[in-house]
């Protein structure tokens, strides 16, 4: 028998007391290393803990992650929080429950097997009872987790599988401050940073005279090309920043690529090429012909509704930082690098920001706040980016060009498949390299080199190559990734990394081949899959959408499928669109399999949200730029889907209570993208291979096909 | 500095800021409210919407003088946990958000709609919310919540 292993987050942070403590007032304090970024994770983790400990969820108090005490769970990303934090907590709570049962057994003189726990009260025959809280002094949780602990079987969990209401929602509808933007610290000052319009322009000269006259100004800070103001109110800070901008002289910036020919740009750059996967057939079949297509996606902005925000406060050579970063320890590591301070001098605490869809400017603004707070004489400073800076200087999701090629035999069956990706790397997160990833670090008098994004390895889901290996059982394939070694447009992790582009390419190309064969695209996919969970979600989505409804003029239907990262959630979707000059997505019908569904409504919320966000990416979104500047720096220039344009969304969860749960936040984007493109073809007979699908790209595709 | 007087959530309020100061800065800065949120500063996203008399307006691009002698309602004035507005109840029932940052503005747009149209159709709700942006994709839940609240308010 193999030695039982601890869940990965628990192995990294084995001390039980770092996860769970029993407070004197009948509360359970649960302290995960993952953070709330609008995905509802805190509620799902509270459910898991309450379930395993047998306490009412109302007793569970969730602690925000902080480098002072929380387990270090790296970054809250990749739809891994349930897998990492959830499994660790379940395991830790199972052991804690056993420890308390043993202690209760001793105190009450009854065999542990005769005891039961209900809402934290441990009771046995003859009305004998004690509780977690009574025993808390006797049971030390300052011990390392043991691997040989078995959590409850799924059938004995009372809360898992229930749509428990989110614990953060009441605060948000009753205007109780929860966001970092709304948090008042005593003596709080307000900072704003001056950033160039021209890409990476350097600050040549700065006349501070006008800014100095603004009432409420506390300090002006300049270090190389980084500069900003600290004032006693936001109104003053905005006024001082406007004055400072007028006094700034900038160098010419760096050239940006041609936004209308991203594929040519991506394929002309120096690259690092990697074979991601290769499969060879032992019985090579004859190829009769080869077809080849190219698909592209543009740069995509995060576009959180709140601009990035942080607070910082210095005390001598120690600094405290409040941030909506996805990783408090990783941010701390980068701050230690740039500040040349030991990590012990830096405390980083999480506070909620607006919805986070990847590596946005949260970490950048935290360093901005740390820099500006140096000029604040020990008072805390809150720094908030402008909307324009948020849409210009935050990292974007990387543009991609993807070539897919298939060899078909005489019966038009796929005998070989090639998939090649050109893209910048999809990750330049802080805290992982020997150089910092924070924007201001590139702007200082003694700047750090600008980080060029890399890709996580396939074992961690890959980056630009995420979801590039087909789940379909083609006899042979070669998957290759070309990562750019130049990066004129700053990119990093945006929801799904490369998966949206790769699934769009694979699922579009499959549709093209099915159409050439005259075969139903659902049947074609099912015929090439052996994984029953994959087939089940496709069948479920097709059944729910009555695949395939009778053709109607002006209406089209398309299917898309993927298993996120090839190891995560399965998701299939049928898109119904209405198309003439513009495309309107009318309905998305999705089926998803995340294994055990801890909070079904939370999963539906995530899938629904992902589907709507993906629809926005597909129909609307593209970062715009001219030769020297990002031009899509407002909601007018970077429109997203509006309420009237949002499709109806139906989500069906394929229940698998016995299978370890995985996250749902990124499962829908790729399949939805492909399903919409496939529905456009079904409706108009036009294959759009360059995202977004707009009136312009439709006309271009029509011209290409005629 | 001239005084500007208005009723804020039912309470007469006098502010001696520059009348050109943006209403959002007055509400959040001087008056310390956290209901209205800053999102874009250009009246494009709607996170800062408040109700002025009977209309939802963006407070990030409205000057203080524009609300002189008017009624301003922010999320703080909509209802409380003890006495929630039907919209607040419905947003909880429908779990109508992910991050919730846009929610204050959405609630105020919806409240203004229900004042003017007690039984809106789904399309009317969507149209009323079109100038509010949500990035998490919670639109359909929010629309369901507004319709639920309308129904709730119609039931005696």
Taking residues B67-94, what's their average pLDDT? 98
Is residue A176 domain-resident? no
In angstroms, the CA A248 to CA A245 distance is 5
Contact residues on chain B for A356, CB-CB shorter than 8 A: 99
Judge if A494 and A566 occupy the same domain: yes
In angstroms, the CA A315 to CA A706 distance is 68
Judge if A486 and A621 occupy the same domain: yes
Query: With the C-alpha atoms ordered A507, A512, A517, A522, is the resulting torsion angle positive or negative?
Result: positive
Is residue A241 domain-resident? yes
CA A418 to chain centre: 28
Query: With the C-alpha atoms ordered A648, A544, A591, A599, is the resulting torsion angle positive or negative?
Result: positive
Residue found by looking up tokens 């670090």 in the block: A441
Which two structure tokens, joined as six digits, stand for A315?
A: 């005390």
Is residue A275 domain-resident? no
Q: How many domains does chain A have?
A: 3
Is residue A289 domain-resident? no
Distance to chain A for B128, nearest Cα, Å? 9
Q: Give me the long-range contacts of B124-127 (CB less than 8 A, separation at least 24).
A: B125/A643, B126/A643, B126/A644, B126/A646, B127/A643, B127/A644
Is residue A49 domain-resident? yes
In angstroms, the CA A645 to CA A588 distance is 13
Listed by number, the residues of chain B in 99-138 with a beta carbon closer than 8 Å to a beta carbon of chain A are: 99-104, 107, 123, 125-127, 129-130, 132-138
What is the three-class DSSP state of A650? strand
Q: Please check whether residue A395 is in contact with residue A296, taking contact to mean a CB–CB distance below 8 angstroms.
A: no
Closest residue by Cα to residue A660 from A2, A131, A8, A3: A8
Which two structure tokens, joined as six digits, stand for B2?
A: 């001239």
Q: What are the tens digits of pLDDT across the range A23-63?
A: 888 999 999 999 998 888 999 999 999 999 999 999 999 99
Contact residues on chain A for B135, CB-CB shorter than 8 A: 303-305, 354-355, 357, 613, 640
Say whether A649 and B140 touch across the interface (CB within 8 A).
yes
How wide is the angle at C-alpha A423 spanned by C-alphas A418 and A424, nearest 5°? 150
Judge if A143 and A228 occupy the same domain: no
Q: Which residue of A has its CA nearest to B88?
A: A173
User: How many alpha carbons lie under 13 Å from residue A674 in its C-beta half-sphere?
Assistant: 28
The DSSP secondary-structure symbol of A405 reads E
Contact residues on chain B for A163, CB-CB shorter than 8 A: 95
Closest residue by Cα to residue A688 from A570, A568, A573, A556: A556
Judge if A125 and A204 occupy the same domain: no
Beta bridge partners of residue A318, listed in sequence order: A315
Q: Which residue of B has its CA nearest to A38?
A: B99
- Can you give the pLDDT at residue A1? 42
Judge if A697 and A617 occupy the same domain: yes
Q: Where are the extended beta strands (E) located within A550-696?
A: 555-563, 570-579, 583-593, 648-653
> Which domains, and CATH codes, for chain B?
4-77 (3.10.20.30), 86-154 (1.10.150.120)
Among partner residues B75, B126, B136, which is closest to A609 by beta-carbon distance?
Answer: B136
Judge if A155 and A199 occupy the same domain: no
DSSP string, A63-126: PPPBTTTS-----S-TT-HIIIIIHHHHHHHHHHHHHHHHHHHHHHTS-GGG-EEETTEEEEGG
Burial group, residue A419, by CB count within 10 angstroms (0-12, 13-18, 19+): buried
Q: How many CB atoms lie within 10 A of CB A482?
A: 20
Judge if A157 and A14 occupy the same domain: yes
Q: Compute CA distances A84 → A8, A32, A76, A401, whole Å.
A: 7, 10, 10, 32
- Can you give the pLDDT at residue A154? 87
Closest residue by Cα to residue A480 from A458, A507, A495: A458
Closest residue by Cα to residue A92 from A4, A1, A13: A13
Residue B11's pLDDT band (boundaries 50, 70, 90)?
Answer: very high
Say whether A635 and B138 touch across the interface (CB within 8 A).
no
Contact residues on chain B for A353, CB-CB shorter than 8 A: 99, 101
Among partner residues B137, B142, B143, which is closest to A611 by beta-carbon distance?
Answer: B137
Judge if A627 and A568 occupy the same domain: yes
Say whether B34 and A303 touch across the interface (CB within 8 A).
no
Is residue A68 domain-resident? yes
Cβ contacts from A onto B, under 8 A: 166
Give the helix/strand (H/E) hosting B110. helix B103-116
- Can you give the pLDDT at residue A3? 64
Instruction: Report phi then psi at B51, rounded to 5.
Output: -95, 125
Which two structure tokens, joined as six digits, stand for A176?
A: 């109780």
The model's pTM: 0.97
Q: Please check whether residue A12 is in contact with residue A51, taking contact to mean a CB–CB distance below 8 angstroms.
A: no
Could you say which residues of chain A have pLDDT below 70?
1-3
DSSP string, A136-196: TTTS---SBPPS---PPPGGG-SSTTS-PPPTTHHHHHTT---BGGG---TT-EEEEEE--
Is residue A406 domain-resident? yes
Q: Please check whether residue A346 is in contact with residue A315, taking contact to mean a CB–CB distance below 8 angstroms.
A: no
Distance to chain B for A430, nearest Cα, Å? 23
Which two structure tokens, joined as six digits, stand for B131?
A: 């100038």
- Can you give the pLDDT at residue A29? 97
Which two structure tokens, joined as six digits, stand for B80?
A: 């409380």
Among partner residues B44, B126, B135, which is closest to A304 by beta-carbon distance?
Answer: B135
CATH number at residue A80: 3.30.365.10
Say whether B97 and A305 touch across the interface (CB within 8 A).
no
Judge if A207 and A74 occupy the same domain: no
Listed by number, the residues of chain A in 151-180 with a beta carbon closer than 8 Å to a beta carbon of chain B are: 163, 165-166, 168-170, 172-179
Judge if A42 and A130 occupy the same domain: yes
Contact residues on chain B for A176, CB-CB shorter than 8 A: 34
Q: Please check whether residue A33 is in contact with residue A7, taking contact to mean a CB–CB distance below 8 angstroms.
A: no
Closest residue by Cα to residue A178 from A352, A310, A306: A352
In angstroms, the CA A14 to CA A369 distance is 33
Listed by number, the residues of chain A in 31-50 with a beta carbon closer than 8 Å to a beta carbon of chain B are: 37-40
Closest residue by Cα to residue A352 from A623, A34, A695, A705: A34
Judge if A215 and A353 occupy the same domain: yes
Q: Domain span at residue A528?
A: 400-426+463-705
Residue found by looking up tokens 């209760």 in the block: A104
Is residue A448 domain-resident? no
Q: Which residue of B has its CA nearest to A301?
A: B135
Judge if A382 and A510 occupy the same domain: no
CA A81 to chain centre: 11
Closest residue by Cα to residue B102 from B79, B68, B72, B131: B131
Q: Please check whether residue A253 is in contact with residue A629, taking contact to mean a CB–CB distance below 8 angstroms.
A: yes
């Amino acid at each position: 028998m193999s030695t039982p292993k601890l869940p990965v987050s628990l192995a990294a942070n084995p001390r039980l007391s770092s996860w769970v403590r029993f407070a004197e007032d009948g509360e359970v304090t649960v302290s995960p290393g993952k953070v709330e970024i609008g995905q509802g994770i805190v509620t799902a983790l509270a459910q898991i803990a309450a379930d395993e400990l047998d306490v009412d969820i109302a007793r569970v108090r969730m602690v925000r992650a902080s480098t002072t005490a929380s387990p270090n769970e790296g970054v809250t990303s990749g739809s891994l929080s349930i897998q990492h934090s959830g499994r660790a907590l379940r395991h830790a709570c199972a052991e804690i429950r056993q420890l308390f049962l043993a202690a209760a057994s001793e105190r009450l003189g009854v065999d542990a097997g005769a005891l039961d726990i209900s809402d934290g009260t441990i009771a046995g025959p003859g009305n004998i009872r004690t509780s977690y809280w009574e025993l808390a002094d006797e049971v030390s949780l300052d011990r390392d987790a043991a691997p040989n602990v078995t959590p409850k079987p799924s059938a004995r969990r009372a809360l898992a599988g229930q749509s428990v209401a989110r614990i953060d929602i009441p605060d948000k509808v009753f205007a109780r401050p929860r966001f970092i933007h709304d948090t008042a610290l005593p003596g709080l000052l307000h900072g704003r940073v001056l950033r160039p319009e021209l890409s990476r322009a350097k600050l040549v000269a700065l006349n501070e005279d006008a800014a100095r006259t603004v009432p409420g100004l506390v300090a002006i800070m300049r270090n190389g090309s980084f500069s900003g103001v600290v004032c006693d109110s936001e109104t003053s800070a905005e006024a001082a920043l406007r004055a400072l901008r007028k006094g700034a002289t900038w160098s010419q910036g760096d050239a940006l690529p041609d936004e209308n020919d991203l594929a040519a740009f991506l394929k002309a750059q120096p690259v690092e090429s990697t074979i991601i996967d290769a499969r060879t057939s032992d019985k090579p079949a004859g190829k009769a012909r080869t077809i080849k297509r190219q698909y592209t996606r543009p740069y995509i902005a995060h576009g959180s509704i709140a601009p990035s925000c942080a607070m910082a406060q210095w005390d001598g050579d120690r600094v405290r930082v409040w941030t909506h970063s996805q990783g408090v320890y990783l941010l701390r590591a980068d701050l230690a690098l740039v500040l040349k301070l030991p990590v012990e001098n830096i405390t980083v605490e999480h506070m909620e920001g607006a919805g986070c869809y990847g590596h946005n400017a949260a970490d950048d603004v935290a360093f901005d706040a740390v820099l500006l707070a140096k000029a604040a004489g020990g008072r805390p400073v809150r720094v908030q980016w402008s909307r324009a800076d948020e849409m210009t200087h935050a990292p974007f999701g990387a543009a991609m060009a993807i070539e897919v090629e298939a060899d078909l035999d005489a019966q038009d069956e796929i005998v070989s498949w090639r998939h090649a990706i050109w893209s910048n790397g999809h990750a330049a997160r802080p805290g992982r390299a020997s150089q910092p990833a924070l924007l201001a670090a590139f702007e200082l008098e003694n700047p750090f080199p600008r980080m060029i994004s890399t890709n996580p390895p396939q074992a961690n889901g890959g980056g630009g190559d995420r979801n590039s290996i087909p789940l379909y059982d083609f006899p042979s394939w070669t998957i290759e990734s070309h990562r750019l070694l130049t990066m004129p447009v700053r990119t990093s992790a945006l929801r799904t990394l490369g998966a949206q582009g790769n699934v769009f390419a694979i699922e579009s190309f499959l549709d093209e081949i099915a159409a050439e064969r005259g075969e139903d695209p659902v049947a074609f996919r099912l015929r090439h899959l052996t994984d029953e969970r994959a087939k089940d979600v496709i069948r479920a989505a097709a059944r729910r959408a009555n695949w395939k409804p009778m053709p109607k003029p002006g209406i089209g239907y398309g299917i898309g499928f993927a298993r996120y990262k090839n190891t995560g959630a399965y998701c299939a979707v049928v898109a119904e669109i209405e198309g003439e000059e513009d495309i309107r997505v009318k309905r998305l019908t999705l089926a998803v399999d995340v294994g055990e569904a801890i909070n079904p409504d939370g999963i539906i919320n995530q899938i629904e949200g992902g589907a709507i966000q993906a629809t926005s990416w597909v129909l609307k979104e593209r970062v715009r730029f001219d030769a020297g500047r990002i031009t899509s720096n407002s909601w007018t220039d970077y429109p997203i889907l509006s309420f009237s344009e949002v499709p109806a969304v139906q989500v069906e969860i394929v229940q698998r209570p016995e299978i370890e749960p995985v996250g749902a936040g990124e499962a829908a984007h790729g399949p939805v993208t492909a399903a919409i493109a496939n529905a456009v073809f079904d409706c108009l007979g036009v294959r759009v291979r360059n995202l977004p699908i707009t009136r312009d790209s439709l006309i271009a595709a029509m011209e290409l096909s005629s | 500095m001239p005084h500007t007087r208005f009723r804020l959530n039912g309470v007469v309020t006098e502010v001696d800021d520059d009348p050109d100061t943006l209403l959002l800065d007055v509400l959040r800065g001087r008056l310390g409210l956290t209901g209205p949120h800053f999102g874009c500063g250009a009246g494009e996203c709607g996170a800062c919407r408040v109700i002025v008399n009977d209309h939802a307006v963006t407070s990030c691009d409205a000057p203080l003088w524009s609300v002189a002698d008017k009624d301003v309602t922010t999320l703080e004035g909509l209802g409380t946990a003890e006495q929630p507005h039907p919209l607040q109840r419905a947003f909880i029932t429908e779990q109508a958000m992910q991050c919730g940052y846009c929610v204050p503005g959405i609630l105020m747009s919806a409240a203004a709609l229900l004042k003017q149209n007690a039984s809106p159709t789904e399309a009317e709700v969507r149209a009323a919310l079109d100038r509010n942006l949500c990035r998490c994709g919670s639109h359909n839940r929010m629309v369901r919540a507004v319709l639920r609240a309308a129904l709730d308010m119609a039931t005696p």
